[in-house]
Amino acid sequence: MKKNFLTAAAFSVAAFFAASTIAQAADVTFSGAFKTRYEVNEQSDFNDSTGADDFIQSRVRLNANVNVNDSTSAYIQLQSVRTWGNSAGGADLVNAGGSGNASLTPSDGDASVGIHQAYFTLKNFATLPVDLKLGRQEVVLDGHRLFGNTLWTIGAQTHDAIRLTHAHDNMLLTYAYIAGQEESRTDDADDYDDVDVHLAYFQYQGILGGNFSTTYAFIQDGCGSALATTVCSNFANDVHSIGFRQAGQLYGIDYRGEFNYQWGDARGTAANINTTSGTTVFTAGADVDREAYMFGVRLGKSFKNVTLQPKLTLWYDYLSGTSEEDGRNNKVGSFNTLFDTGHKFYGLMDNYLAIGNGGGTDGLGLQDAAIKAQISPMPGWTLKADYHWFYTAEGYAATANGIGDSDSDLGTELDITLVNKYNANTRFVLGYSNYATSEAFREIKGQGGDSADWAYVMVDVNF
């Protein structure tokens, strides 16, 4: 009876999103996943006087994929995210994701189940050679550089979006509209505090042993520069971003090269940058222009026909920052990473997220030079070791800290990851990381410790 009830419920939900009747659904497929992760997290507080925080988080997903007919399909993904032992009176319910599921609570009041993705797809929409995908969905492009799902955060990231895609032979063209933020209909009747995102993406496969792609994104926050803060809760923060990426393999060498340039109204970013670094003194009330860029390169070589199947990769990313001269000229030079998966690029300990909007390095940008090694010690096992050297793009220039006017050293990070494919549906991941800080890092982060450790054990089960 339970199976019949779940089937009926899935048909009902799918029919709602596809604007179709249950009778039209020809094929329904169920799947799901469990993820459980134990962490010892010290990087949340580098200070030597405090200890590490350890906790367990879990995520459960149930998916229903419905092929309604030849031109209509729907996908619904339910998700529950929780921190083990979280109580209804906990102070960190936002990050915990659940409520009232602690052993000390006599009645389980957990209400964490929600919709992670729910969209329908119409093929050849309006008889045009485009597919329409409408609803809550993940948007992942080009290895997560500017649009990703975060990979590491237990709940991952999704968007309320409308997406049109045309694919023909080796070419793919996409336009997407994302409702980034919809403020209160009562307090924001003129949409000044809304945030809209427009995305255009083009990819062509088969160039130089790989794929070429170009991306244009526009984040429009709805608050024009002429409007006072009495109208908008925040200053304008429009971001135009355009760039390209080429990745593939030539002569046995894996490679990637990419470049992105940004412009737009940056008063919102200027308000978020920490001016105590001495590099960002903006004129109060003046317009602030954005002029930022990033580039990244990667070269790697795999040796699949030798013992341990080693792989070595060299890596460098540069994200521009706001200099002292930029501040005097009312210009923001900090590159905004948009909706990226920073966990994949800037060290697994996630010390450099939201870099371009005042987070991570106080708007000073980032340089990341890394060497990455990988071996397979036995079938089903993979051992990875990454070592990062981090620097700001603009020197830390505070005069009261005694570290000079051009210090850009942010320290180093070692990431070690062991992955075991336990069986076809189960994967274990063990990780350890250490971050050795610098004086500039401690000043920017307001942390007093010389280093921090992080370790975790994670298991993924998919069915």
pLDDT digits (tens, 9 = 90+) for 224-265: 544 545 566 667 789 999 999 999 999 999 999 999 999 998
Measure the CA–CA gap between 73 and 66, rounded to whole angstroms. 6
Measure the CA–CA gap between 360 and 274, rounded to whole angstroms. 11
Q: Is residue 182 domain-resident?
A: yes
pLDDT at 44 over 90: no
pLDDT at 51 over 90: no
Q: What is the pLDDT of residue 111?
A: 78
| Count of C-beta atoms within a 10 Å radius of residue 71 | 11
Burial 276-292 (b: 16+ CB within 10 A, else e): ebbbbebeeeeebbbbb
What is the tally of structural domains in the chain? 1
Measure the CA–CA gap between 263 and 333, rounded to whole angstroms. 9
pLDDT at 383 over 50: yes
Distances (CA, A) of 86 to 103, 107, 446: 9, 13, 29
Measure the CA–CA gap between 196 and 198, rounded to whole angstroms. 7
DSSP-derived secondary structure for 292-325:
EEEEEEEEEEE-TTSTT--EEEEEEEEE----HH
Q: Is residue 211 domain-resident?
A: yes
Q: What is the pLDDT of residue 204?
A: 97
Q: What is the pLDDT of residue 400?
A: 39
Q: Is residue 24 domain-resident?
A: no
Q: CATH number for the domain including 412? A: 2.40.160.100
Average pLDDT over residues 343-368: 89
Closest CA to 94 of 46, 43, 147, 155: 155
pLDDT at 96 over 60: no
Q: Categorize the per-residue pLDDT at 72 as very low, low, confident or very high, splitting at 50, 70 and 90.
A: very high
| Ramachandran quadrant class, 193 (left: phi over 0; alpha: psi -120 to 50; beta: rest) | alpha
DSSP-derived secondary structure for 356-396:
GGT-TTTT--EEEEEEEEEE-SSTTEEEEEEEEEEEEEEEE
Mean pLDDT of the chain: 85
> Which of 14-28, 86-100, 141-155 is modeled with the greatest confidence?
141-155
Eight-state DSSP code of residue 257 = E
pLDDT in tens, 263-294: 998 888 887 776 545 445 677 667 889 999 99
Q: Categorize the per-residue pLDDT at 93 as very low, low, confident or very high, splitting at 50, 70 and 90.
A: very low
**Is 438 or 448 the better-scoring residue by pLDDT?**
438
Average pLDDT over residues 336-356: 92
**Is 9 or 342 the better-scoring residue by pLDDT?**
342
- Of the listed ranges 244-253, 279-288, 337-346, 357-366, the one predicted with least confidence: 279-288
Q: Which domain holds residue 391?
A: 138-462
Q: Is residue 344 domain-resident?
A: yes
**Is 187 or 256 the better-scoring residue by pLDDT?**
256
Q: Categorize the per-residue pLDDT at 388 as very low, low, confident or very high, splitting at 50, 70 and 90.
A: very high
Average pLDDT over residues 94-105: 60
Q: What is the pLDDT of residue 420?
A: 98
Measure the CA–CA gap between 97 and 154, rounded to whole angstroms. 9
pLDDT at 153 over 50: yes
Q: Categorize the per-residue pLDDT at 403 as very low, low, confident or very high, splitting at 50, 70 and 90.
A: very low
% of residues, the chain, pLDDT over 90: 62
Q: What is the pLDDT of residue 20?
A: 46
Q: Is residue 93 domain-resident?
A: no
Q: Is residue 87 domain-resident?
A: no
Average pLDDT over residues 133-140: 98
Average pLDDT over residues 423-433: 98
Q: Is residue 422 domain-resident?
A: yes
DSSP-derived secondary structure for 79-97:
EEEEETT--TT-S-HHHH-
Q: Is residue 79 domain-resident?
A: no
Measure the CA–CA gap between 344 and 341, rounded to whole angstroms. 6
- Of the listed ranges 154-158, 349-353, 441-445, the one predicted with least confidence: 441-445
